[in-house]
Structure 1
Amino acid sequence: MDAEQFEACWHAHIRRVVAYAERHVGLDAAYDVAAATFLTAWRTWDAVPAEALPWLISVAHGHVRNHRRSLRRRGSLEQRLALLDESAHPATDADVTAAQRAEALAVLAAMPERDREALLLVAWEGLTTEQAAEVLGCRPGALRMRLHRARARIESSAATPNLRLTRSTP
């Protein structure tokens, strides 16, 4: 690794890489994309061609795509949390604090959708294992495995000692 060559490359191209990233992800994330791009260049310096700018822009393009994927996942998680929060009516006799409820909802939202849906169909909607399996188009044994995974995630959460896995009527 030639640190002087890398530093010269950085000085020569940082503004153009940041400008490219800013056009695609905005100013706030542009510096993160540029930093990730030059980190990639540092780690793979032997692969960087003499004409580095097109290569750097190509790497920045990949980091822009990663950034957008992260935003979509975060938005999707926030949307799932909002939907779960809207549909979760706390029971009047529940001993669950707001923090415990929020953490439990976060655990639910972070679950794979298949496991979460299996749990909600059985524990929330009151379907039998066979009925829930029919709704999801799977075998009852597969549904029981999804339920086991979902319940294990819920029960391992520190916020859920008093959380019921069945819906109470408001």
Structure 2
Amino acid sequence: MSPPGEAGDDAEVITASIRHPERFAVVFDRHAPHIHRYLARRLGGQAADDLMGETFLIAFGGRARYDPAFASARPWLYGIATNLVGQRRREEAREYRLRAALGPPADQDGHADRVAERVTAQAMNDRLAGALAGLARRDRDVLLLIAWEGLSYDEVAVALAIPLGTVRSRLHRARRKVRTVPAPEEVSNHG
């Protein structure tokens, strides 16, 4: 029989970790890959490593306040991670602008089809990066949690501690703004 807290849902594990702190490792093992992927998409690899550790340190420190009505800790962890990303939002916007300014990577083998694919992909990345950088932080957080992490509207509401209607309105506003960014060929024809 396994010790209490190692099996069961996240709420049970977190509750058990209050008396047996080492049990919190189960929550880390279950959710660290998802949180790291989300942070890496938002900020890049090194920042993701740093913020993932910080996310779980904050969660560990706040585990006594975790609401056991929520069986899964993932939305709670995304909320912590998103708040940490928010603290770095100026750096994030700078990163999006830098990616847009770099242009397509150099093609090393000279193959024309690969070059065309990379240029097209880079143009779309530039367009998306510019659109993301132009969004309000709150709208961007909702859009990325849904688009990148596949969270439901309800999970985003929990993660960001906002009403469900606010999730819907922020997502609608973000989608509308992203759609209005001109396609790469529209920019070059008018530039």
- Relative to the length of structure 1, the TM-score reads 0.40
Q: Which of the two has higher C-alpha Rg?
A: 1
- Relative to the length of structure 2, the TM-score reads 0.36
